Structure 1
């Protein structure tokens, strides 16, 4: 089943679009917490495709679901947690939802308490999300903290944003420790170069505007350097030395991720997808995609549709 494609990006708009309750305590789009299992969702459930401007932090105490973020698929089971980044296509499906908590926050919510931003404690790099299974003791702590955040959110405390932000930061630190147990640490001073951070944010903004139709030009190295008011060669050198990837490699990986999502999870034609990302020539779109993936775009769509039909028949 192909999720309905939307470009909705704000938290409350996404909730309302699915005809789910927008509770009174959800008084802005900066932050939200939901006891998803208490929202009256009929199972099996398939969400539309959104393009959120917020991080999603989901704690699955008991449940079975799937998140598709960009070209990445995350299978969620009991005692799983997942954090997903903004500025990427997002859809979810659930077959079991006994106890699931969902925390969302935008990039500015933690800034006052975490000036360097979320990447200062939880770096996703080019990945669209991170998921892992937690030991029962750690999961119990996560659930207890979720309930603290929820009870604070529905309260009338004057300083509740600060309290909730610090609880979220605490959970992120725990999750980062789990992530570091399985991945090698990178050099923090390099990873958090302000120029790299600004470039990546500008890149995400450019893709958001391409998808929404606000822009028809895919920015490359020259345009990014001009936007940052720095020399093109200097930008290339900083990004390459800090990330081991060139500016164009970052852009190409993001572009392929976006195209693959639309091929698999939308009914947009090749012509529409090519136009969305600034390809003025359909033949060049085909050539570019095949060069980067060793597959024709049509074969990606055909293979995924065949796989989806097989899975549907199986279940």
Structure 2
């Protein structure tokens, strides 16, 4: 396995392929699998990488280490780990009896969980969350939920994604209850971490204002820097160094995610969607969407119907 440095991976399928692990056979934006079925040869140390997805790791019984940015945490039974897109990480497995990993991207959240998911679950934007060792009773509640999600994921229901989305709402609410009742975001991490979190919040609020019609023009890097009273070059450097992605890439990912959701509504014309997202002309939006997805909005809609 080639040891590359600081790789950005779009999903778990891509990460496992990079590390020559068994193919999980899913690139849909959501995965759930038991790690004892994946990691047969232990100990195992991953490449250093930055995921472009969220993950929850439920450790029933396993041991190892997990590195998030410059922090290292032990992997131990009864622990739940949460990480969001952009964090640098490495994981090491020493032994695995049972551990379940759920990953999902923002598009999946917006489509199947809630279109305004960050309003209810703002902790998803938190830059660094320390793992939490739960009581036996708390872990059992989560275990029942992820086992049900796993069953639905393997099942053939025509409503599979909707069922999983509903169960994910319950899971996120329980995570919120167990992790964040006493969480104080003001003391979170370093100054750089707080800058990144504030940028993510500002970006999310800006997209919400675009969609609601409160603003009609997309914010620039300078505008985001002004919100935090920072020089745009400094803000850009912090975002790039902490997340591995530039501000323009963060903005593009956000706009494309929202465009995908809006394009599912067949009653909305491409021109209307372009206006909602702050594009002055529909052709500009179409070119932008195709640049980031390799599909025109019309072709994307055809793909949805198929």
TM norm structure 2: 0.61
Q: Distance in 1 between matches of 2:82 and 2:166?
A: 17
Which residue of structure 1 lines up, in the alignment, with residue 248 of structure 2?
Answer: none
Change (3 A) 1:159 1:133: same
Deviation at residue 250 of structure 1 after TM alignment: 5.6
Q: Which range moves more in the overlay, 41-50 or 93-102?
A: 41-50
Structure 2 partner of 1:76: 75
Per the TM alignment, residue 185 of structure 1 is displaced from its structure 2 partner at its CA by 7.5
Q: Are 2:158 and 1:158 aligned?
A: yes
Match of 1:311 in 2: none
Instruction: Tell me, yes or no, if the aligned pair for 1:68 and 1:90 is still in contact at 8 Å.
Output: yes
C-alpha change, 1:250 and 1:65, in structure 2 (3 Å) is farther
RMSD over equivalenced CA pairs, Å: 3.4
8 Å contact from structure 2 (residues 125, 201) kept in 1? no
Alignment deviations for residues 37-82 of structure 1 (CA, whole Å, 9 cap, x no partner): 1224311110112222111110001111222232332322111101
CA gap of 1:180–1:199, structure 2 versus 1, over 3 A, is: closer
Q: How far is the alpha carbon of 1:35 from its aligned partner?
A: 0.6
Distance in 1 between the 2:201 and 2:171 partners? 27
What is the alpha-carbon distance in structure 2 between the residues aligned to residue 194 and residue 126 of structure 1? 9
Q: Do structure 1's residue 132 and structure 2's residue 132 form an aligned pair? A: yes
Secondary structure of the corresponding residue to residue 21 of structure 1: coil
- How far did residue 199 of structure 1 move? 8.6
1:163: Cα distance to partner? 1.1
Residue number in structure 2 paired with 1:307: none
Contact 1:66 1:74 in 2 (8 A): yes
Could you tell me whether the CA contact under 8 Å between 1:70 and 1:258 is conserved in 2? no
Q: Distance in 1 between matches of 2:47 and 2:165?
A: 28
Aligned to 1:197: 203
* 1:104 corresponding residue in structure 2: 103
Query: Which SS does the other structure have where 1:87 is aligned?
Result: coil
**3-state DSSP class of the match of 1:51?**
strand
Quote how far apart the aligned CAs of 1:141 are.
Answer: 1.3
Deviation at 1:89, TM superposition (A): 2.5
8 Å CA contact 1:68–1:92 kept in 2: the answer is: yes
Q: 1: CA distance between counterparts of 2:38 and 2:219?
A: 48
How much has 1:164 moved relative to structure 2? 1.0
In the TM superposition, 1:222-233 aligns within 5 A as: 228-229=218-219, 232=222
Q: Distance in 2 between matches of 1:193 and 1:48?
A: 28
Shift of 1:145: 1.2
**Unaligned 5+ residue runs, structure 1?**
202-226, 260-315
Residues 7 and 131 from structure 1, CA distance in 2 versus in 1: closer, same or farther, beyond 3 angstroms?
same
Partner of 2:50, secondary structure, is coil
Cα separation, 2, equivalents of 1:45 and 1:12: 18
Structure 2: distance between partners of 1:53 and 1:193: 17
